[in-house]
Structure 1
Amino acid sequence: MLDHINRALGDTKFTSYWLDDPSAPDVEESLNAHIATDLLIVGSGFTGLWSAVQAKEQSPGRDVIVIEANTAAIGASGRPGAILSPSLMHGMENTERLFPGEMAELERLGKENMDQFRQTIEKYRIDCDVEWTGELIVAVDEQGVSDLEDEYRLYTQHGHDVCLLNHENVLEEINSPLFIKGLWSKQRAGSINPAKMAWGLKRVAKQLGVIFYENTPMISSIASGDAVRVRTPKGSVTANKVILATNAFTKHQKKISTRVAAIRDRIVMTEPLTPKQLSSLGWKNRQGIFDTRSQLNYMRLTKDNRILFGGRLGYFYGNNTDPEFDKSATPYVRLVEALYQTFPAINGIKISHAWSGPIALNTKMTLHFQHFHSSKMIYAGGYSGFGVTASRFAARMALAIVDDRDIPERKLSFTQTKPGWIPPEPFRWMGIKLTFYALNTYKTKGGWRDAWLYLLDKLGFPLKP
């Protein structure tokens, strides 16, 4: 089997399939001057791009500048599985765990956010290979079946168009020997090409008058009278207000890194399926799929019928967001093995691309906000892997907070609280490595692994087996 997998990875590009695209926009000039603006946005991933577009939609005459350490979408936004989900808080179960009294309102806001996400694509004609095919959660064991039934209760309680699939039904949707039951949420879910989405948002922002500077990292920030001065390598920006849209990239603000860990999420992408291979899988409805394991796998089809298959989290010392190890075949071997076990009909298919991307993990596993310089600078991030659509909502909220607009959503608990503290290195590295090992082995070996995961659950991480 190992030789089989190594052959599949023999000609793989260890870079994001989404970003390996000749249609990427031209690189913007870097900042080489000292300038001023009303609103500065640091980062041009989804949070920063949504902040820029919405800021200009709300106030067309407002001066908005975006600085980016590299180029648009080069970080997490150009690397996800990009399965669209309406949840703002990392799934309904997590929402109920954290905010049971506000769940109905958060679900309403999630549906509203998804509808507005779709309206933006259609209004500005963003070509992002969007498919509104729903999302399918599949159980791979009896514990997963119980989890699905709990999810079904929440979905129906909050008005989602959802159906529970028995074994025969789920095999009609997707042919895998591992899947024993399923939950198909049919509306307000689907998939996109995330790089095309981000580049489309950048195009829209520029058309609305936003100015971009790339290869312009933020070095530091200080209060400067009633404004904030952000220093860059060859210039500076003095801004009345600043949104930090940096998510997992936290080195410039230690306060953020005490609550956010940069976890690596790994993905492999197959070569395009032949018509025969695609037919053998079923998958006529092309849903994005998640399974119920603690270290879950997720999968989807691309426009040209490749399979994206993700999972196998990793962590690198010091919140490293660009590890060399993930640019080699070794970390993807077990992920390819899981792909073949999930879909035996395509066993041996070659892997065209393999990559990892940074997830901003925190104890709540959901977005949060941090305040700097008397709330003139706001950090929005920490999506724990569910930020493709939640980032739009986070951007809207960050604008309301930095502008001090009195909207009802600001009174909700999630805007008032921060996730728990995460220990510094070396304890962070040791704890995360131990946790991943426990997640991978607790079902077969039990013992201290169960106790460790229960302890983490009590400390705020929802990892109880």
Structure 2
Amino acid sequence: MQRPSVASLADVKMSPFWLDRPDAPEALPPLTAHRKADLLIVGGGFTGLWGAIQAKQAQPDLDVVLIEKSTVANGASGRPGGVVSTSVMHGLSNAVRVFPNDIAELERLGKKNMHGFMQTIFDHGIDCHAEWGGELTVAVDADHLEALRREHELHLQYGHQAVFLDQDAVQAQIGSPRYKAGIWSKDISGTVHPALLAWGLKRTALSLGVEIFENTELLALDEVGPKIKVKTPFGSVTAPKVLLATNAFASGHPGIKRRVVAVRDRVLATEPLSEQQLASVGWKNRQGVYDTRTQMNYMRLTKDNRIIFGGRLGYAFAGTTSPSVDSDVETYEPLAAAFFDTFPQLQGHRFTHAWSGPIDLSTRMAVHFQRYHAGKVVYAGGYSGFGVSASRFGARIALDILDGSKTSESRLDFATQLPNVVPPEPFRWLGAQVTMYALDTADQKGGWRKPWLRLVSAMGFPLS
């Protein structure tokens, strides 16, 4: 008899749901000339777009050029779950772990960042299906309750409007028999349609006077006197400042990959739920949700009441961002099984889209800044997921670093320190294979897997 998780994927389209739209914008022409600019941005994802917009907002006369290897939103920015948060450091617990001295300021900056995020959407009429139901972290095992309570205490300590939900209360929010408790953070957080956001930011940047060239790959980056010259297939850009917003693709300098690992996150989109199915799930407040499985799953509803369900990580040798295995429907069967384990009342429901997205993983599990060519080139990346809203913050800090770190926040630990170096291949691949297997099987089989994950955490990656 065919497993439900297999049958549910029978007609799935192997492409991102977010990008499957007839209103996707046409690509802009590539760069075919030799240009000069005040600021060059490499990468047309969220970090690059937010960087271009904030640079023009701060200095309208600034000559800003952005180049993108493919098209805007085709990379990581068109593939995430689309949950937005006040956290700029991958959650409160992670922020306390990596920057205990900066945590109060990071919390203030995170809330300020979300206000700026929302204001830009409003001011420029970006319809990205934004919903502000908050975030919900749910425990799927009784052993996770103590850690969840500590997380709740952190939320309260730093002024968040967060409510602890016992088993009855959390299941009143979302009808899953797996959920034992939850934290509902009601601050300015929720969900957006990531592709519509990216395309809206593209239009906004163009309206502010940013020049954007798509299908324009960075081929070489060289220091020429006081400026940087970037060569592309049919042209070049010379500028005194360059922001590398290349994230998991790590283009621009070979040193980036010493601290950033490109992993892939698998995601599924269901058919729209019927009214009866939606009633069986509840979810009236439409929060973005993260669970506490060892191999974490996250989920959210779309405007037409599909469930986006993701979170199963993978790694290919040398950090390939689009390996052939991620075009194989069987790769997504464990994720589909986790979905029906979460929502058994939806057995028989089908998935319409399956895809993977590259994540720029670092031991910090949050954005960091690498400086090259005497500070004329800055890489901002390593968000490790959770970058839809944090990318605005990362771009702003990177711009200030390029400008000489004039603000106090750009001189704090988070902006000046680097995450640990990650071992090179083949050790990186071998370690990743063992770790990914342990993540997939730790909750069911235990044994050596959890001590291994604790070891990996002690080395810098907080996976358990």
Offset, 1:251: 4.8
Asked if 1:272 is matched to 2:263, the reply is no
Higher mean alpha-carbon deviation, 450-459 vs 61-70, is at: 450-459
Identity of aligned residues (%): 52
Task: Find the aligned partners of 1:201 and 1:128 in 2 and give their Cα distance.
Answer: 10
2:318 paired residue number: 318
1:413 paired residue number: 413
Task: Count residues with an aligned counterpart.
Answer: 464
Q: Which runs of 5+ in 2 are unaligned?
A: none
1:451 paired residue number: 451
State the Cα deviation string for residues 323-361 of structure 1 (Å, max 9, x = none): 121122111001111111111111111111000000000
Q: Is the 8 A contact 1:438 1:453 kept in 2?
A: yes
2:283 corresponds to which letter in structure 1? W
Task: Find the aligned partners of 1:71 and 1:216 in 2 and give their Cα distance.
Answer: 9
2:263 paired residue number: 263
Offset, 1:405: 4.2
1:118 paired residue number: 118
Offset, 1:384: 0.2
Offset, 1:4: 2.7
Offset, 1:457: 2.1
1:305 paired residue number: 305
Asked if 1:371 is matched to 2:337, the reply is no
2:86 paired residue number: 86
2:41 paired residue number: 41
Higher mean alpha-carbon deviation, 206-215 vs 319-328, is at: 319-328
SS of equivalent residue, structure 2 residue 37: strand
Aligned pairs (5 A) from 1:135-146: 135-146=135-146
Aligned pairs (5 A) from 1:160-175: 160-175=160-175
Offset, 1:284: 0.8
2:77 paired residue number: 77
1:275 corresponds to which letter in structure 2? E
SS of equivalent residue, structure 2 residue 269: strand
SS of equivalent residue, structure 1 residue 318: helix
1:400 paired residue number: 400
Task: Find the aligned partners of 2:193 and 2:443 in 1 and give their Cα distance.
Answer: 35
2:75 corresponds to which letter in structure 1? G
Per the normalisation by structure 2, the TM-score is 0.98
1:223 paired residue number: 223
Q: Is the 8 A contact 1:87 1:390 kept in 2?
A: yes
1:315 corresponds to which letter in structure 2? Y
Q: Which runs of 5+ in 1 are unaligned?
A: none
Per the normalisation by structure 1, the TM-score is 0.98
1:410 corresponds to which letter in structure 2? S
Q: Is the 8 A contact 1:147 1:292 kept in 2?
A: no
SS of equivalent residue, structure 1 residue 266: strand
State the Cα deviation string for residues 289-334 of structure 1 (Å, max 9, x = none): 1101221111110000000001110011111011121122111001
Offset, 1:31: 1.1
1:344 paired residue number: 344
Q: Is the 8 A contact 2:218 2:251 kept in 1?
A: no
Task: Find the aligned partners of 1:2 and 1:415 in 2 and give their Cα distance.
Answer: 52
Higher mean alpha-carbon deviation, 96-105 vs 270-279, is at: 96-105
Higher mean alpha-carbon deviation, 196-205 vs 23-32, is at: 23-32
2:452 corresponds to which letter in structure 1? W
Task: Find the aligned partners of 1:132 and 1:443 in 2 and give their Cα distance.
Answer: 32
1:30 paired residue number: 30
Q: Is the 8 A contact 1:76 1:357 kept in 2?
A: yes
Task: Find the aligned partners of 1:69 and 1:428 in 2 and give their Cα distance.
Answer: 26
SS of equivalent residue, structure 1 residue 175: coil
Higher mean alpha-carbon deviation, 26-35 vs 377-386, is at: 26-35
Offset, 1:50: 0.1
State the Cα deviation string for residues 73-94 of structure 1 (Å, max 9, x = none): 1111100001111111111001
Q: Is the 8 A contact 2:244 2:252 kept in 1?
A: no
2:362 paired residue number: 362
Aligned pairs (5 A) from 1:280-291: 280-291=280-291
Q: Is the 8 A contact 1:340 1:348 kept in 2?
A: no
2:157 corresponds to which letter in structure 1? Q
1:334 corresponds to which letter in structure 2? P
1:332 corresponds to which letter in structure 2? Y
Q: Is the 8 A contact 1:144 1:293 kept in 2?
A: no
SS of equivalent residue, structure 2 residue 242: strand
Q: CA RMSD in A?
A: 1.2
Task: Find the aligned partners of 1:2 and 1:289 in 2 and give their Cα distance.
Answer: 29
SS of equivalent residue, structure 2 residue 240: strand
Q: Is the 8 A contact 2:11 2:352 kept in 1?
A: yes
Aligned pairs (5 A) from 1:233-244: 233-244=233-244
State the Cα deviation string for residues 31-59 of structure 1 (Å, max 9, x = none): 11211111000000000000000010000
1:188 paired residue number: 188
Offset, 1:15: 0.6
Task: Find the aligned partners of 2:150 and 2:72 in 1 and give their Cα distance.
Answer: 39
SS of equivalent residue, structure 2 residue 369: strand
* Change in 2 beyond 3 A, CA 1:405/1:205: same
Q: Is the 8 A contact 1:9 1:350 kept in 2?
A: yes
Task: Find the aligned partners of 1:150 and 1:344 in 2 and give their Cα distance.
Answer: 30
* Change in 2 beyond 3 A, CA 1:217/1:165: same
State the Cα deviation string for residues 359-383 of structure 1 (Å, max 9, x = none): 0001111100011111111100110
Task: Find the aligned partners of 2:288 and 2:18 in 1 and give their Cα distance.
Answer: 17
Offset, 1:445: 4.1
* Change in 2 beyond 3 A, CA 1:3/1:448: closer
